[in-house]
Amino acid sequence: MTLAYAGLIGLVVVLLVLYLGLVRLHYDVRQLRRLVLEQMQSRQPDLPLGLPRGSSELYGRTVLALSTTCDTCWAALAEARAHADGRTDLVVLTYQDPHLFASEAGDLTVVHSPGAWSVISPLPPPVLLRVAPDGRLDTVVLPAAAGDVSATLSRWDGQGATR
């Protein structure tokens, strides 16, 4: 075995260890996000946050807050669109130009409201919200994996649009 061949094998081993480390890190981050999601859903606190008065088109509705810079947001939008099937209480909220979502949103209403977005901006998108008729945030969910949006919307369908 030559020195170059041994060096190549060593490089492959190092790259394999780095790859496996990154896979494990990605897994841990997804597990942590899921744990936070489960903790938030198990407590169901009455959140004192509310949307600004200028966001009344979101009151009493289910809101999916999205950003074009997030890959998970596009998957969440596809799930919401598939689940919507004629629903009028499900809307998409963005701080960006609503036309950026027009082709993917289908029949869903896309609302541009920087004021409403500023209330939830500390949370990483996508964010699924149930907004009470008075503008108070009833429930906040951070979808962590494929299927979370559909599962949450199905669960909420059985409970009514808002509490």
pLDDT of amino acid 35: 79
pLDDT of amino acid 24: 92
SS3 per-residue string spanning 118-161: HHHCCCCCCEEEEECCCCEEEEEECCCCCCHHHHHHHHHHHHCC
pLDDT of amino acid 47: 47
Task: Please give the helix or strand (H or E) that residue 51 lies within, else none.
Answer: none
pLDDT (mean) for 91-100: 90
Which pair of structure tokens corresponds to residue 32?
């942590």
* 20-58 pLDDT per residue, tens: 999 999 888 888 888 777 766 665 545 455 667 767 788
* 121-139 pLDDT per residue, tens: 888 889 999 988 888 888 8
End-to-end CA distance of the chain: 71
Strand order in the sheet with 127-131: 109-112, 90-94, 62-65, 127-131, 137-141
**Does residue 94 carry a pLDDT above 80?**
yes
pLDDT of amino acid 161: 46
Rounded CA-CA distance 91/43 in Å is 25
Exposed / middle / buried, residue 59 (Cβ in 10 Å: 0-12, 13-18, 19+): middle
Kindly indicate the confidence band of residue 11, based on its pLDDT and cuts at 50, 70 and 90. Answer: very high
Does residue 52 contact residue 116 with C-beta atoms inside 8 Å? yes
